[in-house]
Amino acid sequence: MELYLGNYWFLLLLLLLPVLAFFLIRYLKWKNKRREVFADSRFHEALFEKKSGFTKIFPVLYFLATLFLIFSIIDLLSGSEEVTTNQKFNNVVFMLDVSNSMNAEDISPSRLTEGKNLMIQTMKKLKNDKVGVIIFAGQATSIMPLTTDYNSAETYISGVETNSIKIQGTDFLKAMQTAVDKFINISKGSRKVILLSDGEDNEGNDNAAIKLANKEGIIVTSVGIGSDEGAPVPEYEFGQLMGYKSDMNGQTVISKRQTEALQKMAESTGGTYIDGNNIDEAPDKIVEALNKKASSTATLVKSQNATHYYQYFLAVSIFFFLMIFLFNPKRDFNV
């Protein structure tokens, strides 16, 4: 435990000590001078009561009592305790797929809305973890830096739409490269990615993304959104439904969740694959997966003013004042 001064400004009270010493000395000289005026020194023993040993140290007791009183006010030996605690936390990057297939409505109201809600509900269950958000399709971009301000995250997430990324597709490698940039100053033991996607329109870069994740010490928890039966993909223009995506033959495209790449991404990086279609259960499973390999970091916490010792100085001061009162009160003060 480290000791330090509790209240620096109260050090000015120490200036009272030389003032007190000055007046005590002046008082003693004045008393002696009055005796000399009253009678010659050879008559003092007969006229005045003989000084006791206590009376001689009486000024010193006053000085010491005042000194310890000032020490108690200063809180001279106020302690600073250093406590080491082990805290488990992660640095979590949510990677949300915003390709057009995420507009499919096989999960009500849509896959994209489900993914956004999963992110928000998961963040509400986190505690010490830092979170960031990346959205991706054929390209990727970071829309929220790593932070513990979970309340502001909802604002970032609520504005995400499939047209937020112009180049379409589902390129896991581009998303992973953006995540690596966000983790540049983060130790490898606490890098976590939550990948939310339907796995559709995969660009085939999942092996390269896995290799990069393993190289950078990133554990991926993949969350699959969408049904195996699938649904047509709505196409919107300025918020208006213009129809459904069709192939070169004019046939309506049915988008189905592709879990193989998502499962491979999770298993190959030491993570977990989670079915994201159940909004009531998935957030808890995501948090559980994150905490399985949460990094434990020793944090040194310095607690200022954790321990105070002013009471001991005050007790000594009171003891000296009590001695003065009991053995040499004012009425019996003859020096």
Dihedrals phi, psi of 184, to nearest 5 degrees: -60, -35
For position 191, what pLDDT does the model report?
92
269: domain CATH number is 3.40.50.410
The Cα 123–Cα 129 span in angstroms is 9
Whether residues 12 and 147 share a domain: the answer is no
250-285 pLDDT, tens digit each: 889 899 999 999 999 999 999 999 999 999 999 999
Closest CA to 257 of 129, 111, 146: 111
Start-to-end CA span in the chain (Å): 46
Q: Is residue 186 part of a domain?
A: yes
Model confidence at 333, pLDDT cuts 50, 70, 90, reads very low
Dihedrals phi, psi of 95, to nearest 5 degrees: -110, 110
Q: Is residue 126 part of a domain?
A: yes
Whether residues 135 and 274 share a domain: the answer is yes
The Cα 275–Cα 199 span in angstroms is 12
Whether residues 105 and 178 share a domain: the answer is yes
Cβ atoms within 10 A of the Cβ of 174, count?
A: 22
Mean confidence (pLDDT) of the chain:
81
114-152 pLDDT, tens digit each: 999 999 999 999 888 899 999 999 999 999 999 888 888
Per DSSP, 202 falls in state: B
Model confidence at 194, pLDDT cuts 50, 70, 90, reads very high
Q: What angle do CA 130, 134, 136 make, to 5 degrees?
A: 160
Model confidence at 332, pLDDT cuts 50, 70, 90, reads very low
Domain span at residue 27 reads 2-77+309-332
